[in-house]
Amino acid sequence: MDNHSKPEVVVITGASAGVGRATVREFARRGAKIGLLARGRDGLEGARHEVETGGGQALVLPVDVADAAAVEAAADAVEREFGAIDIWINNAMVSVFSPAKEMTAEEFRRVTEVTYLGVVYGTLSALRRMLTRDRGAIVQVGSALAYRGIPLQAAYCAAKHAIQGFCDSLRCELIHDGSKVHLTMVQLPALNTPQFGWTKSRLPRKAQPVPPIFQPEVAAEAIYWAAHQKRREVFVGLPTVEAIVGNEIAPGLLDNYLAHSAIEGQQTGELDDPNRPNNLYEPVAGDHGAHGTFGDRARSVSVQFWANKHRAALVAVAGFLALGLALFSNRKRL
């Protein structure tokens, strides 16, 4: 807990696996009481067990975030069990690996309902409670793909772009109203999570995150930190910064680069099973944990995020060094 006399009450969507599961662990080890929202009960029970084994408290709430009424009911349940919600983290997502021309209208709808509208519904439920108390933090788990779309993930990229626009509008309204509710978005790099083994795919070979890859604990640390800061947005990983800045400077160049690199770059050399289970409409059974199968290539630390966290101190040090260099140069001239 950071400067709190009582445990924080936190809601995490997509809490059963991947980034959500790593984020559950991050908050649990700091003493938070956690509402666990996701569709897969196996993963939710696994997360609850981890929290309770560490001496914490967690509430399992099997919820499809595409169902606004179910999200609202889950928020009520958390507050009945633990009290006022301090932090709400929107992390749940689904995707489809496929050329856009081969996608169905229903697939686009489903990805949009979960990955974008699920964020909207969660945010609205959080706001209904936080605005009356004039406190709280809402963290949207985003991606570099919120700024720069890539091939084979049109529906997912579009949903992340939509979250970005939604946050910009809502943030302006909160500022206008003088609200103390804080809204932030954390833009993540490629991560070693189980999603690449259960996302629906039309690719001939198994999907993979585009290297460089980071462990989900890097994301979890950033999400926890963002929930307790006043940054409007947090970039995690140098590849995220490069993608966002590069798209601002030379989007056409990136179009051509990604056209020739990202289709192969999102596939391993191993053939995929076209009949394997996927989680687009129903969760894949089992407790999948936080990590995927790319651990041997994943980084456990982001130097860029460390520098981002400590940028005020780094700027101060740079200023002192510059001042010292200037004084030294003046003395030499004298």
Asked if pLDDT for residue 334 goes beyond 90, the answer is no
What is the tens place of the pLDDT at every residue in 66-106? 999 999 999 999 999 999 999 999 999 999 999 999 999 99
What is the tens place of the pLDDT at every residue in 222-262? 999 999 999 999 999 999 999 999 999 999 999 999 999 99
Contacts of 91 (CB under 8 A, 6+ apart): 12, 13, 14, 15, 19, 20, 23, 141, 223
User: Which pair of tokens denotes residue 117?
Assistant: 């509208």
SS3 (DSSP) at 306: helix
Distance CA 321, CA 307 (A): 17
Q: Are residues 73 and 108 in the same domain?
A: yes
Number of structural domains in the chain: 2
- When the pLDDT of each residue in the chain is averaged and rounded to a whole number, the result is 93
- CATH number of the domain residue 171 falls in: 3.40.50.720
Q: Which of 156, 224, 257, 281 does the annotation list as catalytic?
A: 156
Asked if pLDDT for residue 144 goes beyond 90, the answer is yes
Q: Are residues 334 and 185 in the same domain?
A: no
The secondary structure of residue 19, as a DSSP letter, is H
Q: Kindly compute the dihedral angle of the four CA atoms of residues 149, 154, 159, 164, in this order, to the nearest 10 degrees.
A: 10
Residues 56-75, mean pLDDT to the nearest whole number: 98
Contacts of 171 (CB under 8 A, 6+ apart): 183, 232
Which phi and psi angles does 132 have, rounded to 5°? -70, -25
Distance CA 152, CA 164 (A): 20
Q: Are residues 149 and 78 in the same domain?
A: yes
Q: Is residue 64 part of a domain?
A: yes
Range of the domain at 319: 310-334
Contacts of 190 (CB under 8 A, 6+ apart): 209, 210, 211, 212, 213, 214, 239
Q: Are residues 247 and 150 in the same domain?
A: yes
pLDDT band at residue 310 under the 50/70/90 scheme: confident
Residue 156 annotated to the active site: yes
Q: What is the pTM of this model?
A: 0.91
